[in-house]
Each structure stands twice: as C-alpha cells, then as structure tokens.
Chains A and B, each alone.
Chain A
Amino acid sequence: EAGVAQSPRYKIIEKRQSVAFWCNPISGHATLYWYQQILGQGPKLLIQFQNNGVVDDSQLPKDRFSAERLKGVDSTLKIQPAKLEDSAVYLCASSLELAATDTQYFGPGTRLTVL
C-alpha cells in the first residue's frame, strides 16, 4: 500500500514570495492533516480535513496560510506571503477517520527555507 505522498521535498524562497505544497493521502483515508514542524520542536497541527470539509483550522495563520481539499482526496497548502519564521518542515498526514484510536500516517514532509 502506498504511503502519504508530498511534493516538493525541498523549497527555498525569499520572504514575501508565495509557495504551495501538495499532498496525496493513503487511498481510502478520509481525514487529512497539515502540520508545521519547526526545528527542535514537535509537529503543530495547522488544519485538518474530513473528506473535503474543514474540521479544525484554529491554529492556521489565516492572514497568510490557506489550504484546500476540493475533491476530498489531494490537498494543497499555500503560504502567501512567506515570512522568515515560516521556515519549517510541513508534514501531511492521513488517517481512516476522525476516531480517537485512528492512527495518523505521515508523509516525508516538505522542508521550506525562507531567506
């Protein structure tokens, strides 16, 4: 079974530029998550989707970050404009459903460097 796919793996941009990340979850997984992991810290949830609906985006900086999952499968996360403090690894994860016992499986991540 294929895992969670993400692209690109690495991205370097200058501050005030925009960037987009793509995620394809494990087939059949209804729930998709975007996390931000700053070096030396644990992952922080930005947004979670159940099918194509947003379940929680309370920690998403909505003035610059946006995410969508239009057909309930693939998702994109966009940053516009980027700031230096956005340098981090952006992890996508998926799980079967939203149940407390459902395991989240992580993709390889996209390492973003903002100069």
Chain B
Amino acid sequence: QKEVEQNSGPLSVPEGAIASLNCTYSDRVSQSFFWYRQYSGKSPELIMSIYSNGDKEDGRFTAQLNKASQYVSLLIRDSQPSDSATYLCAVKGGEGNMLTFGGGTRLMVKP
C-alpha cells in the first residue's frame, strides 16, 4: 500500500517569511510528484509538479525532490496571507499509476 506522509500542522509563519512544507513517500517506483493547494471548502488546485531530482522554481514556489531519500518539499517565498490554505502532497507511479495523496499540511500566514 503506497503511503504519503505529511505533518498536519498548522504551520504558522509571518507574512514575508519562507514557508517550508515537507512530504515523504513509501513507494520507491513513484515517478511524479505534485503539490496541490486547497482552500477551505474548495477543491484541490495544482500549484507545482516535479519529476526529476533537484529543484524546480515557479514564481514564489520551489519544489524539491530527493528520490534517494523519498522526500519532496515545497518552499513558498515571501509568504502572503492569501497563501493560507492546506497543501496536499501527491505521488503518482507504479502499478495502476494511481495518484496517492498525503493528509495535507495546514499553512497559516499571519499579517
């Protein structure tokens, strides 16, 4: 059974700081890694995807992947109150190519 683990939080950071969100996964054959943002009462929205080891930057967001350690992270620079949401890590690959989600980390950015 594929597992994706995240700290549920809440993670509280001041406005303008860097928020660091972490995720570990159990299935070594996983190929694709996604970060979704979910505002309260809304559906998940894709913000980043990463497929190879290293860093991938998109605006204020940086995804980091380390397949040897089975670890993926998301950094949010210059955090804004509008970034306050639950961030879901999702992993895909292996048998059936199913997308497996972690439980999510709730981020609170305080003005």
Contacts and interface: CB of A to CB of B under 8 A. Distances in A.
A63 to B, nearest CB: 20
A101 B32 CA distance: 6
Given A41-B103, A100-B31, A48 B98 contact: yes
Interface in B72-104: 88, 90, 92-93, 96-104
B99 A104 contact: yes
B62 interface: no
Determine the main DSSP class of A at the interface with B. Answer: loop
Contacts of B99: 33, 45, 104
> For this complex, into which size category does the number of interface residues on chain A fall?
20 to 34
Interface in B31-81: 31-32, 34, 42-46, 49, 51
B93 A43 contact: no
B101 A43 contact: yes
A42 interface: yes
A55 interface: yes
A99 B44 CA distance: 20
A16 interface: no
Interface of B: 4, 8, 31-32, 34, 42-46, 49, 51, 88, 90, 92-93, 96-104
